[in-house]
Amino acid sequence: MPSEKIPIALGADHAGYRLKERLRAYLKDKGYRVEDLGTYSEQSTDYPDVAAKVAEQIQTQKAKFGLLVCGTGIGMAIAANKMNGIRASACNDTLAALMSRSHNNANVLTLGSRMVDEPTARNILDVWLSVPFTGGRHQRRVRKIQNLEKH
């Protein structure tokens, strides 16, 4: 699928603002359609609010994928995973990115601006966006995760 056809919802808190801005430009240069949902400065922001905005874009199918950036990627992942249908994965390396997509069908990538530099973040993002979900036995497990949302 050509990158310009894939809508990506993007968000960050104040700690992730600078990296988000660089990754937004990087994705646009690669032809992705990016919806930037904030934050728009380094002024203190509550990451759960931004995570919810990005997750809602996926829930309503306005975006296929989400990218969230905070200091560690952990808070954003926790917050996003509270939303039905979201499988957010904090990835600090390309192996985690590969596995989160191929085995877990993650639809939100979270990155930590204090954990990875920009070139590493780009590599993680490239892998994450290029790897398809393998299905098979992993589909059964993802379905079980989805069933947990009903409880």
Q: How many angstroms separate the CA atoms of 114 and 143, rounded?
A: 33
In 3D space, the residue among 42, 100, 102, 53 whose CA is nearest the CA of residue 76 turns out to be 53
Which runs of E-coded beta strand occur in the chain? 7-12, 33-36, 65-70, 88-90, 108-112
Residues 145/117, Cβ–Cβ less than 8 Å? no
Radius of gyration of the chain (CA): 14
Active site residues: 70, 103
Q: Which residue has the tokens 């993002």?
A: 125
Distance of CA 142 to the CA centre of its chain: 17
Give the Å distances, CA to CA, from 132 to 63, 68, 74, 104, 135: 16, 20, 23, 10, 9
